[in-house]
Structure 1
Amino acid sequence: MTTTLPTTLRLGTRRSELATTQSTWVADRLRELGHQVELVEIVTEGDTNLAPMTTIGGTGVFAAAIRQALLRDEVDIAVHSLKDLPVAPEPGLVIAAIPVREDPRDVLVARDGLTLGEIPAGGVIGTGSTRRAAQINALGLGVEVRGIRGNVGTRMARIDSGECDAVVLARAGLARLGLLDRATEVIDPLQMLPAPGQGALAIECRESDTALVEALRAIDDADTRAATTAERALLQTLEAGCSAPVGALAEVAEEEDGRLVISLRAFVGTLDGSLELRRSWVGPYDTPEQVGRGLAAVLLEDGAADAVRKPAGPSQPSPERRTEVPNATEREK
């Protein structure tokens, strides 16, 4: 157990431009609080292996090397994109802070300023995400979804080269890189729900470094933590990894009587678009895990298991397509 802070905090980050930008943002918040911080670059398998995510391990492929550096005491803090972090806790480590979340929606970056609905039949949309591919295919637009990997710049270059008519990216990443002007459409979550945790950062450290855990609480955002906890509880209950075709978005809302609640929406589907489940759930602000587990139970009852546990394979559609379930109370009626 370490009860004193190091003179300089070593912050581990992936070396990509987006990762270092995110880590620098966290470092600047800590510097504003009076801490000295240095960035330590770490290469992960996800950075060097550009094979499809489902073939190189999916869940945790970006986080594993940084977590090992933490456990070996090579760094003091790790900054992750929360959507890339496995839902199962890592023994010896703790997510000490989840700062204020960026806009979690996806965006389209397309040639000629096109929106999603304007891409002609047979057009090519690039994405390395099964979640995005499943939702695009479920829209029935008649486009081809092509698997691509690489950093933000590499993926957008596929448009300039003519390989793709458009790519789908996280709005948060473009915002952090100062590239929002490249987006031709912010995609409505009614069409495409983001990945659980998208737009949020997770700041992890060793559980035994109690002084550091306490110091990092200063940049934790309660609403962001509550919302993303609900999203990740849903993912964990579904037994789905971060590469599965699951979308989720939780928002904090205030009821008429002043009570805070969490409103959670989720999507589960098959890659070919033959199964599309969209459900919602509302529950108390102070029990976000129960909100996530409640909605996951609805999805599993409605046929989600095959889709999330075999994301690359064919799945049979659910025998019935229910309307959305607005909240627990209405479902019990």
Structure 2
Amino acid sequence: MTSTFTTRPVRLGTRPSPMAMEQTAHFAEIFRSRHPGICLEIVTIVSEGDRHRGPLSQLDGKGAFTRSADTRLLDGRVEATISCAKDLPSPHDRAPDITVGAVLPREDARDVLVLPSGHSPATLADLPPGTRVGTSAPRRAALLRTLYPELEPVAIRGNADSRLSGLDSGTLGVDVMIAALAGLHRLGLAERASQILDPTQWLPASGAGIIVIEHRSDDPTTANLLAPLTHHPTRIVLDAERAALATLHGDCLTAASVHAVHDPAAESVTVHAVVLDPAGGTPIRTIASGPDTHPARTGRRAGKQLLNAGAAALMGSPS
């Protein structure tokens, strides 16, 4: 099964950011423990999103961080790629012939408020009106307009470490920022979280805290290497979340949240799905539950329920 790779390495494509390299090193440790006789070579890939300094919408932001990796995967320059699931395009926007081969255990999906270094601890509710809150996510901007309309969301770019440096130096153009707790953990900077935001109100990103490794659909050798590394409870919730997002024709630039919860005792998965109004109006919410043997089916049902409730009016009609 693994003889193809005994004379050459398995090439794993990854972005070169500190956070991406940390999560890649974590996966590499898992891979090498499972396959000690196989060489894993790390190949860094600079994406369109990494090179571009303006708004992601200028790049047709869907997949700005994965298109370069997809190209190298499909033309055979790498056997696999590693990504944060929340950065992946929705399946309806994805390059064909790419398959998720391994899913690592979900980390904390919550967002956090980050203040400049040395700032006294505070929460979003403590911040004075007009405070500029940095974020690159339409979901977060819509949540701010809904829950804290007195605050001003401001679009920011850059990797997590460069954003933190800019925030501390005053060059980021914002007073505070929102970040992913899982990302801070990977950087060893979880103490920078001034407030961990309640996920029942501050809704997580779809795929938040989940690392996926993908391969070409026509590459069974790599598929067989990756399959034993999958954390199946996380695969269940990921499949449910991505199915709902695909039904909505949404992506990482959509002001929406799909968050699934697996109940192993009941052998069920529950999908909490919300489409937010970018202007700060009333969100449209739904919940769907089903057996954990068919998570994508439950996700699709949640997406259809949102569309039937009028979510398309907030998102723009699916094409």
TM-score (normalizing by structure 2): 0.91
Counterpart residue type for residue 300 of structure 2: R
2:141 is aligned, of 127, 130, 133, to 133
Letter in 2 for 1:212: T
Correspondence list, 1:187-202, <5 A: 187-202=197-212
Q: What is the distance in 1 between the residues matched to 2:109 and 2:140?
A: 14
**Alignment-derived partner of residue 5 in structure 2:** 5
What is the match of residue 21 of structure 1?
Answer: 22
Match of 2:284?
277
Backbone CA RMSD of aligned residues: 2.0
**What amino acid maps onto 1:136 in structure 2?**
L
Displacement of 1:259 in angstroms is 2.5
Give the conservation status (yes or no) of the 8 Å contact 1:260–1:285: yes
How many residues matched?
A: 308
TM-score (norm 1): 0.87
Q: In structure 1, the residue corresponding to 2:120 is in which secondary structure?
A: helix
Of 195-204 and 48-57, deviating more is 48-57
Q: Which amino acid aligns with 1:160?
A: D
Q: Counterpart of 1:300?
A: 307
- Where 1:78 maps in the other structure, the secondary structure is strand
AA partner of residue 22 (structure 1) = Q
Is 1:60–2:63 an aligned residue pair? yes
Aligned to 1:204: 214
Q: Is 1:95–1:205's contact at 8 Å kept on the other side of the alignment?
A: yes
How far, CA to CA, are the matches of 2:288 and 2:76 in structure 1? 41
| Other structure's SS at 1:300 match | helix
- Structure 2: runs of 5+ lacking an equivalent: none
| Displacement after TM superposition at 1:307 (Å) | 2.1
Whether 1:108 and 2:146 are equivalent positions in the alignment is: no
**CA offset at residue 140 of structure 1?**
3.4
Q: Is the 8 A contact 1:108 1:185 kept in 2?
A: yes
Counterpart secondary structure, 1:107? strand
Question: Which position in structure 1 is the counterpart of 2:80?
Answer: 77
Q: Could you list the runs of 5+ residues in structure 1 that have no partner in the other structure?
A: 312-333
SS at match of 1:4: helix
Task: Give the match's secondary structure for 1:113.
Answer: coil
Which of 153, 159, 184 is 1:151 aligned to? 159
Identity, in percent, stands at 36
Q: Give the Å deviation of 1:310.
A: 7.5
Matched, 1:124 2:132: yes
CA contact (8 A) 1:158 1:164 kept: no
- Choose which of 139, 142, 152 in structure 1 pairs with 2:150: 142
> Does the 8 Å contact 2:90/2:249 carry over to 1?
no
Deviations 1:130-155 (A, max 9, x none): 01100111103410111111111222
In the TM superposition, what is the alpha-carbon distance from 1:36 to its structure 2 partner?
1.7
Q: Is the 8 A contact 1:244 1:309 kept in 2?
A: no
Runs (4+) off by over 3 Å: none
Structure 2 counterpart of 1:224? 234
Deviations 1:263-289 (A, max 9, x none): 211221122212412322222111111
Is contact 2:18-2:161 (8 Å) kept? no
